[in-house]
Each structure stands twice: as C-alpha cells, then as structure tokens.
Structure 1
Amino acid sequence: MEYSVIKEGDLFFLTDKNGELTENNEKGYGLYTKDTRFLSRMELFVDGEKPSLLSSSANRSYFASIRLMKDRKDEGAIEIHRERFIYDGVLYERVSLTNFFPQAVSFDFSAAFDADFQDMFIVRKYRTGEVGKIIGKVTGERTLSIRYQGADDMLRETCIRWDQNESEVDADGIVHYSMTLEPKEIKQICFFIIPVLEQKWPVLLSFEEGLKRLEASYEQWYRETSRVTTNADVFNGLYRRGVQDLRMLMTDVGYGETPVAGLPWFAVPFGRDSLITSLFMLPLNPEKVKGTLRTLAAYQGDSVDAWRDEQPGKIMHEIRFGELVNTHQSPFGPYYGSVDSTPLFLVLLGEYVRWTGDLSIVEELKPNVARALDWIDRGIEAGSGFLTYHQEAERGFPNQGWKDSSNSIVHASGEYARSPIALAEVQGYVYQAKKSLAPIFERMGEMALAEKLVQDAEAFRARFEQAFWMENENFYAIALDKDRRQVQSVTSNPGHLLMTGLPAASRADRIAKRLVADDMFSGFGIRTMSTEAAGYYPMSYHNGSVWPHDNGMILLGLSRLGYKKEAGKVISSLLAASRFFEYQRLPELFCGHGSELGYPVPYPTTCSPQAWAAGTAIVFMQALLGLHPNALKKEIRIDPFLPEMIDELLAEHIPIGAGHLSLKVTRSRSGSDPVKVEILENTTGFELIHSSK
C-alpha cells in the first residue's frame, strides 16, 4: 500500500510511507478520531530539508517503524528512526537520531505540526458544509495546543507534547532542536499527540509503559482466541495476520467492542460489515461478537425518517460522529440504507446461540428481535412476497445490498435494474434468520412464535425457488427488479444461499459447481460476476472483482453442505493470492483477472486492513475442520479435510458452549479416510459427530 496506518480503539493514524503528514495534504492523511482529523501536518526536517526513506513497516498492525536518513554525499549520514503506536487515546512517537559520520556533527532538527479538524466527509471530498473555525494556537514549555470551535458547538483540541527541554517553537508552530552528536551517539525525542474532545484528557504514560500495556492487551487477545497452526507457512501467516488485524479493528462506542469495517475510511461500526465479520469470528471467540449485537441493537431504527432511510426496527448501515453529522448536514448519524443488516443481525444472533447455547442475550435483546422481525415482515408484505430496498434518502445509496455501487445490479441486456429490488442473498438471510430463531424460541417456551417462524420460512422458500431460479443458466438470478423481472446475471450473490440452507439440494449442487467453473473462478478466488455476464469487467468494484469476504460467505455454505473439493479450491486460491499482498494481508478486494497472469492485480482504492477480509482467515479454519456446533442439541459436527498444500493442522482452544475443543488433523497415507483426526481436548460436554458427505 502507498500509506502506513495504525489503529487502536477509536483513534487511527494514516501517513505516507515516510511517516509524514505533509503541509499540502491531498490524500487525506492524518490522525483521526470521531470522524475528525486532529492532526493534518507532522513533518520532520534536518537542517530544513526532508530526509529520505530507508524502510517503512507497520507489520504489527498497532506499531509502525520507519527509518529515514539525511546524508552528505559520501561523508556519512544522520539516521532518523521513527517508532509509533497508539494507546488509550494518545499517539506516541519516538524519534531516535543517530550520527553515522566519523566525526561530531551539529544540525538543526525540527518537527512541524498543524491541525485542521476537518470532518472525514470533507477530507474525502464526499460532502461540503458549514463548519467551525480554529480559535487559537498556544505554545508553552514543551507543548503546542491547537483549538477548534465546531459548528456543532463542540470544542476540539489537539495537544502536542514532547519530552526534551532543549527546544524552541517558532511563530509557525515548528519545534526546533539545535543538536550536536558525537560519532555513533543516539539522541531520542518522544512526541505525544493528544486529541481532546470537550476537555476530556486521557492519561499520558511514558513511551515504554504505553507500549508495554498495548502489547499486553494483544497477548491477552491471543490467549482468549483460537490458535491454529499447520505445516504450511502461507496458511499460518494469513491466520496470524487475520487474528492480529481483527484485534486492531475492534472499537467500543459504548456497548461493547465491535469490529469496524476497515481502514482508512471506514473506521466506524457498520451494520453489514460488522455483522459478517462477527459471523466469521465465532470460531475465534464467540464472546467477542456480543458487542456487535448490543451496539447495533442500541442504534436500531425507531421512526420513519426518509432523510436517513430509517424505519422502525431496521438495523443501521453505518454511523458517523463528525461535525457534519452532528449539525444534521449529513444523514449518517446513523444511516440506515442497507437491506441486509436487519436479517444478518438475526442470523448472527442465531449462530451465536448455536456456538454458545447462551440464551441470556436473546432474552436481553428480545424487544430488538421482535422489532427486526416486524420490519422484515412489513417489508416482505410491501415487496409482494420478498424483502426489497428502495432509496429514500437524497444523499443515500441507490443500491443497498453488499454490492452497493450504482452499476452492480445489471440485466443481461446491460440495463441497470430499477428499484424496488429484491436481492437473492437477502432472501436467503431472511430464511436463515427465521429458521435459526425458531428452535431458540421453542427452547424459551414461545411455541407459537417458533411454529410461525418455521411456517413463514418454508412458505418464503417456496416463493423464492419459483421466482429466482433461471432455467437457462441453472443458477439463481442476482435479483428481481421493480417489475419482478429476474436480473439474469450470473454473480456470486447466490453463493451466499448455500450458507442459509434455502436452496433445494439439487440446486445447491449446481450453484457449488458453477462457482468454481472457469467463468466465475479466477484462480485467485471466486469473482463477483461471471465473465460471460453483460456487466463484467475485472477492474470493477463489484462486477468481476474478487472479494475475500464474499468467498468467505460462500465457504461457510460449501463447508456446511460438505463440498470439500470446491472449498479446498477456493481456500488454496486465496492463500496463493495472499502471498502477493503487503504483510500477507488480504485486501478488501482485488481485480478479477485470471491467475494465468501469475499474480493478482490490485484494485486501486481498496481498504486494507479490512475487517471481513481479515476474518476470512478464520473461515478457512472452520471450513477445513468442517466445524459446525449446535449447542441447543449439545452436539458438534466435524468433517475435516486438507487441501494439497497442507498435511497437518492443529487447532487449539476453540471456544464452544462453556468449554473448548482442540483437535489435530493429519493427512492419512493409507486407509479409506484421507485424514486422521485426533481429539486433544473436549471440555464442552457436547457429543462430537464426525460426519462425511
């Protein structure tokens, strides 16, 4: 990637590879919290000149290390080593200057800072609006403070502190140090950048103590989550990267931790993105997904508001906290323009119970569940039997499924579908939500509701099979348009249906096989659209690109239905693709060119790290184990397999129910079963069933 980014909690820092925020910052680099840029300039100079880059790494997600140098021909150089992390609302940066000249040298070292407090939407040139103003810049002993009075009457402040006394601050807010270093001598300066909202100050620690506490929090995360290792370094690297990035992307806005969508521009809770990421995280640690359920329940729609596409019972799409939202110049506080967040909310709740057996959160969220079901039922009735979407908000999204670009729902003729639109995968989520909630309410003694949910689901399934199946393609249509015409493009969307249990067995078989056929499978993953479709082009956002999370949703279904060959093909292809991306981090998406090129083609404006892409690595583990618990029945089904590159897989400390499962899968060189399974730990109290298709 062309940028460097670290994040912790609600604060993230985005810079160029040199670690800089330049004075004329056109790429949106900055230090952000609450959708506001609290630092827009941070530049280092030696004798008034910029040092050159040697190396730049943010491999640890939470910690960046950047090496620069300022040389004088062949005489020697001053090396500048920048180390940075974020902890408890503070950006810590340590600058180490080393003299690599053969004699003592004197020089001016300076650091320039500024803050513009721009709203994220303005930075991205996504919105304009009436905003506040800078009300003062104050310098003190080892401090520089910049204050901003927002149009929302909120006082924002950026305070920069440093730990060395031998400094001067000029009229432009540039901190100067006159330095003399002996050969090999090192001098360190620590900067502390503190965003302050309404004069709420975080606790400031030493650089060493802050880093120690941050690293301890990661170690605790690793102890609490599943551990997986194989004999294949590519799998191990991707899994470790996914677990680390998921920790980085967790945020608590007051209702428990939830994964944000991704960096740099979507570091806030989402509906769809946070729910799908949490679904992927269940084998990692189900306890970690409760914050998502509670956060989304807290922001559930309670009124009809076309400005925000809000309706009672609807689960939000996205929430923002910046100045434009606070002054009602943007509808994103929160915005509800997503048709799939509400059924996915119920799907996640149902799957959480299957993993844990915990009915207390269902009891806690029962009013939210009832309102979500009511919203779905009202939508189905208004949509002539299916759940549809139609943009109401003037500044909202025209397409409101996960493929939300304006050209993503396209007929075979090339004509864009007109709303209201019923998406195939959304109907599957509705079916799965009702089917998975039914046994939960039965267990809770609400028999009439449980029976109604089952009856509704089966009637819904029959309507869907009749309306969406394309006989000419032996595949489901991506959608029905406003006239109930099938949108006859072959896409990845119906692949999500395999997870939901909606398709008849014969049709599920056709879907599974078509997804890995040449027109849909790139060699580096399943494409979002068939190469034979009218709307296909591989460099698109949604019409032929490869999205790891899309493949992850499909993998959950392939695994549940026992399609090992197809699942192995998808996993192997994405593992191969991961080798080509920085830090072996699967991005949000990449182009859908075929693997005959020898490498995946990056998409130019992708998010990385991105939560549901990171979570895909956890899905790989679940799919390879064929792991599907049902805590209500007190049983765990496994059906393991190993792709060609893996001969041994060790999965430890998988939380299920009130206990843990650990097992080892080894390729068998003889016998009828291609793998040998050893159960190393089962403290769940559940029956372990080894099934095979």
Structure 2
Amino acid sequence: MDTTVKSQAPTGSGTASGLQPFLHDACVVLAAPAVALSRPAGAMRSGADGFFRGDRRFLSRLVADVEGVPLAPVRTGHSDASTAAFRTVLRGVGEQTADPAVTLRHTRTVHADGLRESFEFHNAGPLDVTVPLALSLDADFAAMDDVKAGRRAAPPGVRRADDALRWHWQEWESRLTSTPAPDSVDDEGGTAVRAHYRLTLPPGGRARVDLDCAAVDRDGFPFAPAPTRRVPWSRPRLRVPDHRFPRLLDRSLDDLAGLLLTDPEHPQDTFLAAGAPWFLTLFGRDALWAARMLLPLGTDLAAGTLRTLARRQGTRDIPATEEQPGKILHEVRRTSQLLDEGTTLPPLYYGTVDAGPLWVALLHDAWRWGLAETEVEALLPHAERVLAWMAEHGDADGDGLLEYVDSTGKGLANQGWKDSGDSMRWRSGRLAVAPVALSEVQAYAHEAAVGGAALLRAFGRPDADRWEEWAARLRDRFRDRFWLDDARGPYCAAALDGQKRPLDTDTSSHGHLLGTGLLTEEESGLLARRLASPELDCGFGLRTLETGATGFNPLGYHIGSVWPHDTAIAVHGLARAGFPDEADSLVRGLLAASETFDARLPELFAGHGSGVDTGPAPYPAACRPQAWAAASSVHLLRALLGLEADVPGGTLRVADSVAESWRPLRAEGLSVAGHALSVAVDVGGGVRAETAAPVSAASRRG
C-alpha cells in the first residue's frame, strides 16, 4: 500500500534561508550531467549535499551509522572524477589491542544516470563481530537554483512506496535498490527513512551493502552524457623538475573527462559543461575558452563545441531572452533560473557580449591547429553571422566598440566574464552604469575580426578586407578611448561606462589584451608591469581587482579573488608578447595554489596573497572542478613551451628558450593536425619538437 506525505522544503536542507551553501570542504564526484556532493567523510546531510542529475536533486540525505559505535573517518581519496572512497575506523569494535580491528570502506561511484554507494566492512581482528549498520535516506527533488540560493520553496507532494526505497514528485523519481535488502525500514519523519542491516563478520571476514540510486527524469535534460571512457583529446605526459605541474595536469584532465556532455541529436559533438555543481550545463563563454585552451591536445573538442553552439546561434530579435541574429548564447538550462529577487534568466539565455567573438577566435585557432578544412568551411556561414552581429548589434551605438546592456531589466547586469553585479567599478568604489564597453571584449573582437578575415580569404569568401579594416578602426578607437594615466604612468581602463568614461581601476583584464594584436609593443610592456605588480600578482595568481581600489575584497567574486583561468590567459598573453619572467611568476603562483587544493584548482579562490597566507583560502561557494580552471593547466604548458601552430601555413612555433628552472623538460602526447607532438628541452636549453604532422617543427619564436 502506498502512502503520500509532504516533505520539507526542496532546498538546501539545514541551510539558513537566503544563504548560498558553502562547498569548500565538500567531496565532489561527477559524471556529467550527474554529480554527488557530500561532507569530507561521505555523509550527505545538509546545504548542497546530495545526488543531482540535470539540476535536480534525487537524493538529499545519505548518512551511514553503526548504532552505538563511534566512527572515526581516516581518509578520503579520488581515483578519478567519478569515484571517491572514504575509509572509517569503528572505534572499539572487535579490538583486543590498541590497534583498530574493524574498518569501513565506503566507495561512491557516479555515472550519468545514477549513483552507487558501496559499504564494505572488514574485520582484521581475532573476534567474531556483528555490525548494526543503519542508512538514513531521503529525496527532496530540489531544483539547483533553489539549493544555490538557499531558498525554501513550496513543499512538493512526495510519495514513498512501502515495498521499496522510492520517492517521486511530478516528472522525477528516485529509486533505491539495496543489495542485500535491508532487514527493516523505519520512517524518520517527513519522507526520510532509516534502513537497518545486521552484518556478521568472522575474523578476517568481510560484509558488504550496495545501494544503487536510479534517477528517473521524464522531463528531460537538454544534453546527454558523453560516451564513457572516450575523451576528445590526447593525454599528454609531462616530465619536468617541478612535480606539481604533472600532478596538476593529470588531475585536471581527469576532472575534464567528468564534465563532458554531448548534443543529444548529434552525439559525436562533445563539449565541456562549465562546472560542478552550479553550472553543470552548456555555457557559451566557458565552453569556448576551455576548448581553446585544450587545442594542443587536439581539435575534436573545439569542433564539437563550435557546432553545438552554432546550432543554437541566434536568428531573431527576442528581447526576453536577449537573442539577436548571429549572437552566440550565454547558457542553456532545463527551466528558468531565479538567481535573486531581481534576476531571472530564461532557459535559453543570450545575455553575453563576448561569446560571439570567442566563437570566431576558436574557429580560427582550431583551423590553425589542424581542424579539417571541410569542418571549418561548414562553419564559416556561422562565423560571418557572428561578425555581422558584432558590427550591427554588439556595437549598438555605432561608435566602433562592443558594449552591453541588460535590455530586460531582469537579466545579468554585467555580461562579460566578470558578470557579478558589482564587478565594474571605479577606484572610488562607484559602480559603472550601462552600457559598458569592456577592454577585454575589444581584444576578443579584434582577434575575431582579424582571424575571421584570414578564414574568409583562405576559403575564397568575400569581405576579408572589410573585417581587417574594421579591426584597424577598432584598434584606433581603443587607443583613443581606453588609455589613461595615474601616478605610475599610462595604462588601460578596465571598461568604459555608459557615458564613455574610462574606469580607472587596474584589473586582471589587462592580461586578456596581451598577444591579441590590439596593443603595440610599448603598450604591452606597460600592462605587463601592471600585471607583475603586487597589487595584482598576489603570489598565487592574479587578483581580479587591484588592492588599492575601494571595495577590494579578497573574497569578492570578481573584486579581489583569483580565477585560475584568468591568470592562465594572462600567462599565455605575457608569453606571446615577450614577457617570460612575468609569465613565469604567475605559473609558479598557480602551481603553489594547486598544492592547497590537492591539484584540483577551483573556479576561484581568495586573493589575500602569499604575503599573508602560506596557501590561498578557498572561495567557499566556488565550483570545483570548473572546466576552464582545469583546462588552464594545458594553457600554462602551451605558454611555457611557446607553442603556436599554423598548419595551413606549414609551421609550428616553439619557444627559443625555456627558463633554466624548468629544465630538463619533456612533454609527450600533445597533438597537432591529428598527429602526435612531443617537445623536449635539454639541460642546456635546447628546444626540440617532433611530429609527423605536415608542418615544420623547426620554427622558433622570434
């Protein structure tokens, strides 16, 4: 007989209403679009804890107890992104000496459609032991945006069948299968239950309980899981004196595999979800940057990302979603997202100013790294539409610069990568009023116009001259509008406000301008010195905002924190512009930070700096893993090696020197034009590249 009860609110259970749950000490296990979060010892109790699939929570409570026995967690470890193991000692059970006798190894495995929790007890002592295991379980079907915001929404109707561990609400069902079946199941109040097991362990014996959670989703998530055990990139092997670098690279690639999703109608096209748990879906900007950073490992991910976004390219003017002809989207969700009282994003949302230029830049770079000409040519009409959008919609006021404004009053107030509402400000702390023209977006647009022109000319399409001239005019307007002076000399404004006044703050955005062709050599040097200053370089990476600005906050999302991808972009830009020492300092800073985070760099972390802390403090609500943070490890390697491919032009460039502290170095398993690439640097500094690709490996950076 079925019983129907009302659950408590489908939200971050145990979290104060309106407070975002913290994640800094969470154990995160994932296989997109599924993710499990728990306490470090494995229990799912409160806040953001639980098993989610497609932004819906299918298990909100999982706590293992041995009745009457104190449990002592001793270790948590990951074998890869989808598996974690927790080891616990049962204090005083079966012991005849001070040595522990009975232990529990709790293993969690997430797959794209469900979750397996295995509890294996081992008795290493000389006595017979009986273990009274109890599992406390519940499912609340909370939406991810409610969990993230700490909201307590209206309670849903939830049914639990008496003959199974099963919950459902609307289109969702959570089915738990236990092997062996529990000896008994008790109600714990609301929809929670407590399953009891009595396990007997002789000396040397083992006993195991497996719990499988199947997430039944009749509503349908917009994207599908990627094929298991197949990733669209090569696996590099790095040998270098600093052991932190290979460890960061290996862990990052494991995490990236867990973030892969596919376009359901075109399963050959994979892309990277932005991050777990909050952003486990398609974000245009994030997916493009991550794919761009991974180009030295192959072009398949770039191709899948480009095609997935091209299928959803804007075709009409729809103010409610900010769609415009040619525009590349910001994000895709199952349902609308209520971010706060004033911000509501529709499921398909186009509120971004930079995804379009980044799309064209990725297509151009993928072509140079060897993406097949047929694949490039098929995407050129989409590139032409993005370029047209840049000139007609991105530059809405016709001043030759790209700017944004939230036309709905309900969307994102800031629509660059620093999209928090307080990110655009003067040194005085006063916030900028839209429309806002970001410095880095002008650099992306310049790259898109120049790269787009190169593509059009190479494939015999018209308007190459038009876009080169457009880029030249953009350079002139940027130089005229964005440069200003302070006591330290000339520098570049972070943005222009709605009255075209330059924001006078130093920010990490300087790094996005370097190596893009927007700046002269002298201008690049001025910004390189700013990036190397202690106001921005905190010793663990780049602060997003200078320390001298009013409102600087080391734990501010975009106003003082450090974002690994942001630092990696600056590293690459500094290396391309000819400032290896400044780049090297930032590389070492991120490697130092990686030790604090067990080689799993988070979305962002605090910007207090190495002068204050021996390791960076976490930003408590940051995603970890995050696609572009993980992909940054490859971008750092590319910058260190000076890798620049031009397969159509028949050249592969490598650095003419690598700092002595990195020697000897060997990177194998890279890829260019579908062929293996290795780069070696000997103790004396000699650089050698080897590949079977149709390019010259002898070219050096000048």
Tell me the secondary structure at the aligned position of residue 660 of structure 1: strand
Flag the 1:95–1:428 CA change in 2: closer, same or farther, 3 A: same
Instruction: Structure 1: give runs of 5+ residues left out of the alignment.
Output: 150-154, 202-213, 669-674
Distance 2:324 2:439 in 1: 22
Quick one: which of 317, 325, 329 aligns to 2:330?
Answer: 317
Match for residue 65 of structure 2? 45
Quick one: which of 105, 108, 112 aligns to 1:84?
Answer: 108
Distance 2:58 2:335 in 1: 12
The answer to whether residue 412 in structure 2 is matched with residue 397 in structure 1 is yes
Question: Which amino acid letter does the alignment assign opposite residue 168 of structure 2?
Answer: R
Flag the 1:495–1:383 CA change in 2: closer, same or farther, 3 A: farther
**Post-superposition CA distance 1:183-223 (Å, at most 9, x none):** 3311012111110122999xxxxxxxxxxxx9x955x5498
**How far does residue 102 in structure 1 lie from its aligned partner after superposition?**
4.0
The answer to whether residue 526 in structure 2 is matched with residue 510 in structure 1 is yes
The answer to whether residue 479 in structure 2 is matched with residue 469 in structure 1 is no
Quick one: which of 21, 28, 42 aligns to 1:5?
Answer: 28
Match for residue 302 of structure 1? 315
Query: What does residue range 6-405 of structure 1 map to in structure 2 within 5 Å?
Result: 6-22=29-45, 25=46, 27-47=47-67, 51-58=71-78, 60-72=80-92, 78-99=102-123, 102-125=126-149, 133-134=157-158, 136-140=159-163, 143-149=164-170, 155-165=171-181, 167-171=183-187, 173-198=193-218, 218=229, 221=231, 224-254=234-264, 255=266, 256-322=269-335, 330-378=344-392, 379-382=394-397, 384-405=399-420
Tell me the secondary structure at the aligned position of residue 141 of structure 2: coil
Tell me the secondary structure at the aligned position of residue 313 of structure 2: coil
**How far does residue 611 in structure 1 lie from its aligned partner after superposition?**
1.3
Match for residue 691 of structure 2? 682
Distance 1:523 1:399 in 2: 28
Tell me the secondary structure at the aligned position of residue 147 of structure 1: strand
Question: Which amino acid letter does the alignment assign opposite residue 103 of structure 1?
Answer: L
Q: Report how many residues are paired.
A: 656
Distance 2:336 2:154 in 1: 9
Q: Is the 8 A contact 1:469 1:477 kept in 2?
A: yes
Distance 1:342 1:639 in 2: 30
Q: Is the 8 A contact 2:309 2:328 kept in 1?
A: yes
Tell me the secondary structure at the aligned position of residue 283 of structure 1: helix
Question: Which amino acid letter does the alignment assign opposite residue 55 of structure 1?
Answer: R
Distance 1:223 1:257 in 2: 11
Q: Is the 8 A contact 2:81 2:257 kept in 1?
A: no
**Structure with more of its chain in helix, by fraction:** 1
Q: Decide which moves more: 77-86 or 223-232.
A: 223-232
**How far does residue 644 in structure 1 lie from its aligned partner after superposition?**
4.9
**How far does residue 251 in structure 1 lie from its aligned partner after superposition?**
1.8
Distance 1:579 1:417 in 2: 37
Tell me the secondary structure at the aligned position of residue 686 of structure 2: strand
Distance 1:77 1:443 in 2: 71
Distance 2:72 2:367 in 1: 54
Q: Is the 8 A contact 1:44 1:50 kept in 2?
A: no
Match for residue 12 of structure 2? none
Q: Is the 8 A contact 2:44 2:61 kept in 1?
A: yes
Match for residue 664 of structure 1? 680
The answer to whether residue 674 in structure 2 is matched with residue 654 in structure 1 is no
Flag the 1:2–1:640 CA change in 2: closer, same or farther, 3 A: farther
**Post-superposition CA distance 1:511-548 (Å, at most 9, x none):** 12221123222122222222233343333222222211
**How far does residue 162 in structure 1 lie from its aligned partner after superposition?**
2.1
Match for residue 11 of structure 2? none
Flag the 1:121–1:383 CA change in 2: closer, same or farther, 3 A: farther
Tell me the secondary structure at the aligned position of residue 569 of structure 1: helix
Question: Which amino acid letter does the alignment assign opposite residue 293 of structure 2?
Answer: F
Distance 2:595 2:153 in 1: 43
Q: Is the 8 A contact 1:119 1:324 kept in 2?
A: no
**Post-superposition CA distance 1:558-609 (Å, at most 9, x none):** 222232222222212221222222x222222222223223332332322221
Flag the 1:296–1:357 CA change in 2: closer, same or farther, 3 A: closer
Quick one: which of 565, 577, 594 aligns to 1:578?
Answer: 594
Distance 1:587 1:641 in 2: 31
Query: What does residue range 616-635 of structure 1 map to in structure 2 within 5 Å?
Result: 616-635=632-651
Flag the 1:40–1:560 CA change in 2: closer, same or farther, 3 A: same
Flag the 1:127–1:630 CA change in 2: closer, same or farther, 3 A: farther
Question: Which amino acid letter does the alignment assign opposite residue 326 of structure 2?
Answer: G
Q: Is the 8 A contact 1:226 1:285 kept in 2?
A: no
Flag the 1:375–1:224 CA change in 2: closer, same or farther, 3 A: same
Instruction: Structure 2: give runs of 5+ residues left out of the alignment.
Output: 1-23
**How far does residue 231 in structure 1 lie from its aligned partner after superposition?**
2.7
Distance 1:418 1:96 in 2: 58
Distance 2:606 2:290 in 1: 22
The answer to whether residue 443 in structure 2 is matched with residue 428 in structure 1 is yes
Flag the 1:199–1:553 CA change in 2: closer, same or farther, 3 A: closer
**How far does residue 625 in structure 1 lie from its aligned partner after superposition?**
1.1
Question: Which amino acid letter does the alignment assign opposite residue 139 of structure 2?
Answer: A
Q: Is the 8 A contact 2:123 2:129 kept in 1?
A: yes
Identity percentage of aligned residues: 32
**How far does residue 463 in structure 1 lie from its aligned partner after superposition?**
1.0
Match for residue 593 of structure 1? 608
**Post-superposition CA distance 1:394-449 (Å, at most 9, x none):** 43211111111222111233211110000000011001001011121112111x32
**How far does residue 130 in structure 1 lie from its aligned partner after superposition?**
6.9
Q: Decide which moves more: 295-304 or 566-575.
A: 295-304
Distance 1:434 1:95 in 2: 57
**How far does residue 375 in structure 1 lie from its aligned partner after superposition?**
1.8
Distance 1:383 1:77 in 2: 75
Q: Decide which moves more: 497-506 or 414-423.
A: 497-506
Tell me the secondary structure at the aligned position of residue 474 of structure 1: strand
Match for residue 211 of structure 1? none
**How far does residue 275 in structure 1 lie from its aligned partner after superposition?**
1.1
Distance 1:643 1:690 in 2: 19
**How far does residue 370 in structure 1 lie from its aligned partner after superposition?**
2.9
Q: Decide which moves more: 44-53 or 61-70.
A: 44-53
Match for residue 205 of structure 1? none
Match for residue 21 of structure 2? none
Q: Decide which moves more: 276-285 or 598-607.
A: 598-607
Match for residue 208 of structure 1? none
Q: Decide which moves more: 600-609 or 478-487.
A: 600-609
Tell me the secondary structure at the aligned position of residue 168 of structure 2: strand
Tell me the secondary structure at the aligned position of residue 575 of structure 2: helix
Distance 1:383 1:112 in 2: 61
Q: Is the 8 A contact 1:98 1:186 kept in 2?
A: yes
Distance 1:59 1:590 in 2: 24
Question: Which amino acid letter does the alignment assign opposite residue 26 of structure 2?
Answer: Y
CA RMSD of aligned residues (A): 2.6
Flag the 1:196–1:641 CA change in 2: closer, same or farther, 3 A: farther
Q: Is the 8 A contact 1:119 1:323 kept in 2?
A: no
